[in-house]
């Protein structure tokens, strides 16, 4: 193929079926199959010896933090191993022995690679050499680190102003890397820092910030031992936070109850066999959910309003249901809330959420008598137009019950990426914080920009409209993770330069700007050494505990650089000696970075010492019941409107979810064991009644079409799976369905794409 030929890149990859097999959905999560699957994955990718060594150090004090989700480790890790099936899959993916070097890229053109499936792309192996794709060329070519840094610096210097550059962060980077990255971006002169949490828990951050004064959860892991009720809303922990099941199990052993609110009866929520316990391996497993409320997609506000209405009524009749002392002392807006609820009839709310009233009453009776309640949630609440209100309605319930700031009670937004919370804490954000800017000025001697930057959806629009020309990503897979894949592709392809600092190949390396760079970096599990000294870094888990993580494996290649070193070198190439920060020295010395974090960010004093061992908790005003920064110095009740979809007669509401065999856009395998799907990802879960209405057979192929503002978006070829899902609702996996999510429809206030409530129609695929 000629080097000059225009690249015909496949943006979505192949859409062929892979040979589906079905089984009954699983009745319980974990147990023996989980152990077996986990070990198979590890041995296949890492070999036996490396697997055993690596796993023995994961989530242990002197080891490294699991690169999977952000669920916390217990203070005293057990010797049997503090990890789950998906943690093992995550580490096997990173610590694989397979590598792709410059030979791989000279053997495969970018165009050819783009026709591989995401599963094949991910399985190719670890990136081990810096590579460049020049304009008009068909293949990536080798480039030295030095020339790569210079190329970036030159391109950044060509921009008319710093706001023409976009700097994305995914949530796997350490606090040290993220802090340095944010510092460089501000020194460069922009706040354009979109990050994965814009697509994830941003609604939680906004909702909690406005009502409770901190955009993070308030519970600690130990609180699960003492909770009387744990509500799990819009979350699938059996797949996405498997060790949370152990916490739920403990809660139940201590007499607690679990209420789940989900359009699906997810296996992990129903029954659980703990693979870390002998009884879990052999016995029949434990029922986890006491009450399952099978809510229709995006009707959580209706359901929570109904529950609250019923609790208010009971309180009036019998008393002792709500915590009036707490309401009086700590909250604002109670009268307005109760008055607003009078606008809704119980029947209207029952009809909207689609649940049998008798089951709702059971939940109400339980909640009425209990005082210590934890509410956990994830993407089922955040990724809707009213994502922020979903969170606020949860806060309303907790405030009414006085379930905050005491053991066994509180908010628990369950974070996704292992350090997504930490990255935000140490400064990755598009908003301007005067406090942070002042601290940076004092410590580093330069003034950060005070113009609000772009978040994810607005960055995409800016690139699409040719207002931003350079895109740099610290991890992640922006193309496939973001909404409206074809629009996002155009946005990236408009750029003069796209740069990916990555461990593994993904589609964002193939759908690129005119020039593209791949900068391979060390993974979590790898030994990070400089001049014979082993370096460690720090992370913050979902519950605000900061602790160290130290890699143990020999790096897969000597050519790799650590994330801080890469960022420091880009900064050095850009600034030369003309800046108040010595980027090279800072980027190589993580102890120094931690000193600077401690000097700039509240709550991090003595970080170097305090992060050792199990680490320390960051300050959290909700734990102290200190609402002094909020209006009236109180926690805020909110009046939330009901969601409106105005569905046309033939339209259904689609939620885009994760299978059990993926981590976001990384596809570990083609099975979704708990939901009974094997060897296929192009499936759509549908209620049998909706199938009958549309004359659809099991496993019939359909296209999904969304129509927003008159623009048709089509996701082609999905097999219909009859499933226990509410009438009018559909479920299908992302990233395949991201093509349907309109770029300009996102949550109010948080701008999170509406990935869990997309209006679609279905059509049979013509043979």
Ligand X SMILES: Nc1nc2c(c(=O)[nH]1)N[C@H]1C(S)=C(S)[C@@H](COP(=O)(O)OP(=O)(O)OC[C@H]3O[C@@H](n4cnc5c(=O)[nH]c(N)nc54)[C@H](O)[C@@H]3O)O[C@H]1N2
CA triple 736-263-242, angle to 5 deg: 75
User: Which residue is associated with the tokens 């870390």?
Assistant: 276
| Shortest distance (Å) from residue 415 CB to Mo ion | 7
Taking the least distance from each CB to ligand SF4, the nearer of 83 and 574 is: 83
Residue 223: CB minimum distance to ligand SF4, A = 17
CA separation for the pair 404, 28 (Å, rounded): 31
Instruction: Give Cβ neighbours of residue 588 (< 8 Å, ≥ 6 apart).
Output: 530, 564, 565, 568
Chain contacts with ligand SF4 (rule: CB under 6 A) = 66, 68-69, 71, 83-84, 86-87, 90, 241-243
Q: How far is the CB of 167 from ligand SF4 (least distance, A)?
A: 26
Q: How many residues does the chain have?
A: 767
Q: Distance between CA 263 and CA 260 in Å, rounded?
A: 10
297 belongs to the binding site for ligand X (CB under 6 A): yes
DSSP 467-480: S--EEEEESS-HHH
Q: Which does 235 bind (CB under 5 to 8 A by kind): ligand X, ligand SF4, Mo ion, none?
A: ligand X
Bridge partners of 375?
231, 411
Picked from Mo ion, ligand X, ligand SF4, none, the partner binding residue 734 (CB below 5 to 8 A depending on kind) is ligand X
Name the binder of 300 from Mo ion, ligand SF4, ligand X, none, CB < 5-8 A by kind. Answer: ligand X
Interface residue with ligand X among 7, 137, 243, 524 (CB under 6 A) is: 524
CA gap 764, 234 in Å, rounded: 30
Q: Which of 519, 433, 514, 510 is nearest to 473 (CA)?
A: 519
Q: Return the structure tokens found at 684.
A: 């759509």
With beta carbons less than 8 A apart as the criterion, state whether 390 and 203 touch.
Answer: yes
List, in order, residues 6 or more apart from 277 with CB less than 8 Å away.
none
Give the Cα separation of 50 and 695 in Å (integer).
52
- In the complex with Mo ion, the residue whose CB is nearer, 114 or 425, is 425
Phi, psi of 276 (to 5 degrees): -85, -5
The partner in contact with residue 87, picked from Mo ion, ligand SF4, ligand X, none with C-beta cut-offs of 5 to 8 angstroms by kind, is ligand SF4
| Residue 264 interface partner, choices ligand SF4, Mo ion, ligand X, none, CB cut-off 5-8 Å depending on type | ligand X
Tokens at 130, concatenated: 């810096």
The site partner of 501 among ligand SF4, ligand X, Mo ion, none (C-beta below 5 to 8 Å per kind) is ligand X
The interface partner of residue 295, options being ligand SF4, Mo ion, ligand X, none and the CB cut-off 5 to 8 Å by kind, is ligand X
Q: How many Å apart are CA 535 and CA 592, to the nearest integer?
A: 12
Contact call for residue 691 and ligand X (CB under 6 A): no
Rg of the chain over Cα atoms, rounded to whole angstroms, equals 25
282, burial (CB in 10 Å: exposed 0-12, middle 13-18, buried 19+): exposed
Residues of this chain, 48-77, that bind ligand X according to CB under 6 A: 68-69
Q: Which of 51, 59, 235, 608 binds ligand X (CB under 6 A)?
A: 235
Q: Of these, 257, 417, 596, 681, which contacts ligand X (CB under 6 A)?
A: 417
The label of the residue with tokens 């949530």 reads 171
Task: Report what 476 binds from ligand SF4, Mo ion, ligand X, none; CB cut-off 5-8 Å by kind.
Answer: ligand X
| Residue nearer to Mo ion on the CB measure, 553 or 666 | 666
* CA 420/CA 542 separation, integer angstroms: 8
Applying CB under 6 A, the span of 103-111, 164-172, 330-338, 681-689 interacting with ligand X comes to 164-172
Report, in Å, the least distance between residue 744 CB and ligand X. 15
**Quick one: 140 or 663, whose CB is closer to Mo ion?**
663
DSSP state of 708: E
Assess contact for 638 and 211: CB atoms under 8 A: yes
Of the ranges 55-63, 205-213, 520-528, 743-751, which one interacts with ligand X (CB under 6 A)?
A: 520-528
Q: Which of 475, 513, 564, 726 binds ligand X (CB under 6 A)?
A: 475
Q: Which does 66 bind (CB under 5 to 8 A by kind): ligand X, ligand SF4, Mo ion, none?
A: ligand SF4
Minimum CB–partner distance for residue 766 and Mo ion (Å): 36
Applying CB under 6 A, among 738, 750, 751, 761 the residue interacting with ligand X is 738
Q: Which residue has the tokens 């023995």?
A: 56
83 binds, among ligand SF4, ligand X, Mo ion, none (CB under 5 to 8 A by kind): ligand SF4
Residue with smaller CB distance to ligand SF4, 267 or 499: 267
Q: How far is the CB of 524 from ligand X (least distance, A)?
A: 6
Buried b (16+ CB within 10 A) or exposed e, 402-417: bbbbbebbbbbbbbbb
- Which of 274/480 has CB closer to ligand X? 480
Tokens of 513: 């700007």
Q: Which residues on adjacent β-strands are paired with residue 410? A: 374
SS3 423: helix
Closest separation in Å from C-beta 464 to ligand X: 18
Q: Is residue 664 involved in binding ligand X (CB under 6 A)?
A: yes
Smallest distance, Å, CB 563 to ligand X?
Answer: 6
Q: Single out the segment in contact with ligand X by CB under 6 A; choices: 3-11, 97-105, 470-478, 537-545.
A: 470-478
Q: Is the peptide bond before 735 cis (omega within 30 degrees of 0)?
A: yes
Residues 31/242, Cβ–Cβ less than 8 Å: no
Which entry of ligand SF4, Mo ion, ligand X, none binds 262, CB below 5 to 8 A by partner kind?
Answer: ligand X
CB of 390: closest distance to ligand X in angstroms?
A: 8
Least distance from ligand X to the Cβ atom of residue 233, Å: 5
Does position 46 interact with ligand X (CB under 6 A)? The reply is no
For residues 671 and 133, give the distance between their C-alpha atoms in angstroms, rounded to a whole number. 34
To ligand SF4, the closest distance from the beta carbon of 83 in angstroms equals 4
Positions that interact with Mo ion (CB under 5 A): 200, 416
Is residue 493 within 8 Å of residue 466, measured between CB atoms?
A: no
Q: How far is the CB of 87 from ligand X (least distance, A)?
A: 9
Nearest alpha carbon to residue 748 among 68, 114, 207: 207
- Going residue by residue from 640 to 659, which x/- string records binding to ligand X, judged by CB under 6 A? ---------------xxxx-
- Cβ of residue 498: shortest distance to ligand X, in angstroms? 13
Least distance in angstroms from the C-beta of 640 to ligand SF4: 31
Query: Nearer to ligand X by C-beta: 611 or 757?
Result: 757
Q: What's the rounded Cα separation, in Å, for the pair 296 and 654? A: 11
Per residue, the 3-state secondary structure of 243-287, as one string, reads CHHHHHHHHHHCCCEEEEECCCCCHHHHEEECCCCHHHHHCCCEE
Residues 6+ apart with CB under 8 A from 734: 656, 657, 658, 665, 755
Q: Is 587 in the site for ligand X (CB under 6 A)?
A: no
263 binds, among ligand X, ligand SF4, Mo ion, none (CB under 5 to 8 A by kind): ligand X
Using the contact rule CB under 6 A, the part of the chain among 147-155, 255-263, 314-322, 463-471 near ligand X is: 255-263
Burial of 625 per CB tally in 10 Å (0-12, 13-18, 19+): middle
Closest CB to ligand X among 260 and 608? 260
Strands (E), 307-459: 331-332, 373-377, 410-413
User: Using the rule CB under 6 A, is 730 a contact of ligand X?
Assistant: no
- In a 3-state reduction of DSSP, which class is residue 632? helix
576 Rama class: left (phi>0) / alpha (psi -120 to 50) / beta: left
Residue nearest to ligand SF4 (CB): 68
Q: Is 291 in the site for ligand X (CB under 6 A)?
A: no
CB nearer ligand SF4, residue 74 or residue 688: 74
For residue 151 the two structure tokens come to 């190329």
Which residues make up the interface to ligand X (CB under 6 A)? 68-69, 86, 170-173, 196, 199-200, 233-236, 239-241, 261-264, 266, 295, 297-298, 300, 378-380, 383, 416-417, 474-478, 481, 501-504, 506, 521, 523-524, 563, 655-658, 662-666, 734, 737-738, 741, 755-756
């Amino acid at each position: 193929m000629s080097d000059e030929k225009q690249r015909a890149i496949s943006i979505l990859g192949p859409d062929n079926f892979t040979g589906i097999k079905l089984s009954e959905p699983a009745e319980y999560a974990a147990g023996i199959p989980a152990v077996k699957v986990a070990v198979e994955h590890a041995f296949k990718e890492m070999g036996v010896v490396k697997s055993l060594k690596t796993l023995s150090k994961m989530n242990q004090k002197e080891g490294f933090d699991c690169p999977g989700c952000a669920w916390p480790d217990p203070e005293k890790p057990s010797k049997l191993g503090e990890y789950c099936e998906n943690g093992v899959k995550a580490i096997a993916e990173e610590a694989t022995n397979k590598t792709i070097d410059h030979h791989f890229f000279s053997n495969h053109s970018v165009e050819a690679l783009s026709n591989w499936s995401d599963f094949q792309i991910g399985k190719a192996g670890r990136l081990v050499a810096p590579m460049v794709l020049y304009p008009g060329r068909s293949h990536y070519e080798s480039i030295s680190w030095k020339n790569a840094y210079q190329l970036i610096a030159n391109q950044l210097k060509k921009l008319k102003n710093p706001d023409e550059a976009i700097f994305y962060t995914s949530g796997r980077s350490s606090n040290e890397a993220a802090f340095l990255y944010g510092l460089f971006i501000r020194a460069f002169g922009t706040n354009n820092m979109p990050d994965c949490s814009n697509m994830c828990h941003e609604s939680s951050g906004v909702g909690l910030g406005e009502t409770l004064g901190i955009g993070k959860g308030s519970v600690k892991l130990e609180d699960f031992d003492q909770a009387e009720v744990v509500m799990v809303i819009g979350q699938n922990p059996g797949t996405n936070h498997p060790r949370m099941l152990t916490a739920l199990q403990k809660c139940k052993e201590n007499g607690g109850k679990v209420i789940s609110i989900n359009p699906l009866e997810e296996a992990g929520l129903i029954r659980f066999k703990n693979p870390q316990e002998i009884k879990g391996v052999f016995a029949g497993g434990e029922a986890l959910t006491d009450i399952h409320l099978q809510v229709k997609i995006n009707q959580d506000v209706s359901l929570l309003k109904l529950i609250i209405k019923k609790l208010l009524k009971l309180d009036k009749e019998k008393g002792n249901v709500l915590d009036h002392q707490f309401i009086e002392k700590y909250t604002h807006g109670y009268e307005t809330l109760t008055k607003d609820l009078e606008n809704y009839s119980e029947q209207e709310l029952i009809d909207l959420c689609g649940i049998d009233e008798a089951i709702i009453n059971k939940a109400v009776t339980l909640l009425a008598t209990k005082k210590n309640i934890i509410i956990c949630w994830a993407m089922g609440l955040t990724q809707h137009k009213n994502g922020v209100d979903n969170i606020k309605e949860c806060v309303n319930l907790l405030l009414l019950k006085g379930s905050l700031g005491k053991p066994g009670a509180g908010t628990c937004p369950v974070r996704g990426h292992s350090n997504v919370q930490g990255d935000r804490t140490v400064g990755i954000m598009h908003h301007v914080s005067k406090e942070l800017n002042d601290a940076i000025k004092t410590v580093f001697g330069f003034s950060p920009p005070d113009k609000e930057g772009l978040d994810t959806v607005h960055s995409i629009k800016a690139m699409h409209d040719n207002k931003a020309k350079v895109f740099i990503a610290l991890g992640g897979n922006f193309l496939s993770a973001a909404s409206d894949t074809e629009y996002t592709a155009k946005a990236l392809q408009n750029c003069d330069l796209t740069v990916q600092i990555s461990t593994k190949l993904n589609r964002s390396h193939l759908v690129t700007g005119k020039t593209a760079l791949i900068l391979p970096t060390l993974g979590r599990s790898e030994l990070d050494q400089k001049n014979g000294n082993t370096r460690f870094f720090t992370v913050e888990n979902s519950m605000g505990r900061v602790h160290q993580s130290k890699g143990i494996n020999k790096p897969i290649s000597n050519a790799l650089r650590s994330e801080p070193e890469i960022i420091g070198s880009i900064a050095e190439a850009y600034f030369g000696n003309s800046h108040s920060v010595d980027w090279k020295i800072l980027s190589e010395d993580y102890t120094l970075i931690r000193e600077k974090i401690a000097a700039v960010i509240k709550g991090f004093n003595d970080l170097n010492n305090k992060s050792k061992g199990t680490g320390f908790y960051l300050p959290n005003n909700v734990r102290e019941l200190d609402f002094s920064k909020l209006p009236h110095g109180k926690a805020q009740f909110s009046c939330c409107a009901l969601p409106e979809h105005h569905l046309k007669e033939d339209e259904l509401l689609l939620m885009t979810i994760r299978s059990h065999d993926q981590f976001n856009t990384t596809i570990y395998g083609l099975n979704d064991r708990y939901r009974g799907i094997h060897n296929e990802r192009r499936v759509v879960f549908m209620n049998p009644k909706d199938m009958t209405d549309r004359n659809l057979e099991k496993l019939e192929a359909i296209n999904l079409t969304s129509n927003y503002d008159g623009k048709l978006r089509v996701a082609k070829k999905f097999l219909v799976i009859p499933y226990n899902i509410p009438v009018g609702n559909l479920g299908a996996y992302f990233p395949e369905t991201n093509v349907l999510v309109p770029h300009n429809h996102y949550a109010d206030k948080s701008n999170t794409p509406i990935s869990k409530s997309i209006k679609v129609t279905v059509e049979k695929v013509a043979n």
